[in-house]
Amino acid sequence: MSATTKTLLKVDIEALNAEFAELGFEDRFTRLYEYFPVEEVLFTSSFGTKSVVMLTFVSKANAAQKVHMLNTGYHFPETLAYKETLSEVTGLEVVEIHPDEHRHRQTLDAEMWEKQPSRCCHYNKVLPLKGIKAQHTVWMSGVHSYQTMNRAAMRIFEEVDGLIHFHPLIDITEGEFLFYLEKDQLPRHPLEAKGYGSIGCHHCTRPGQGRAGRWAGKDKDECGLHT
């Protein structure tokens, strides 16, 4: 039995949810590391418009926490520049995850984002992250409940396929998020000023409020990582 499996067997998800629900957002990050060593925690960030607040909270709670970014090969140049900016601001080390070269080439040659966007996401995001998740006990991500119907049903802690999902900002409101953003005068994504409310790969992202610009015109509002 692996160390990760042993840790998971000791976890009471309901007890954690009850405890963390009473904590402030910043305190949730600090408390997490009282339960799990940093090497067992996988932290992913898209370096989009909603990323900087969580990155700042993580850097204050544990500066040794690495940030994993899925580099699909289709990011806006502004996103890659923003990643460098936030890495400098927070001091956190960024580790890029790249898709399998052959599968990525398939998506490029077929322009898969046009008629098979879910398959494109699966090849460039879901599959590359799968192996990384298997090496950790906890996956920490910055989803907010108001973003999509799927996320509205999420809790602070969930156990999915043997992995503990930690959503420390799931119940934050847009107003609370803006408060932290403005209080600390945190740098914003360069494309936000051009009307982009949410930012993913350049083929599938348009200007729009909230997530309205993601996969516009398609029956899709998630890449598959959080479903």
Buried b (16+ CB within 10 A) or exposed e, 45-66: bbbbbbbbbbbbbbbebbeebe
The packing angle between helices 51-61 and 25-35, to 10°, is 50
Residues 6+ apart with CB under 8 A from 138: 32, 36, 40, 41, 42, 163, 164, 165, 166
Answer yes or no: 204 catalytic. no
Structure tokens at 220: 């899709």
* DSSP-derived pairing of the beta strands 163-166 and 67-70: unpaired
The CA distances from residue 58 to 21, 54, 87, 200, in Å, are 18, 6, 12, 22
Polymer length in residues for the chain:
227
Q: Which is the catalytic residue, given 121, 201, 204, 223?
A: 223
Is 19 in a helix, a strand, or coil? helix
What are the residue numbers of the active site? Answer: 223
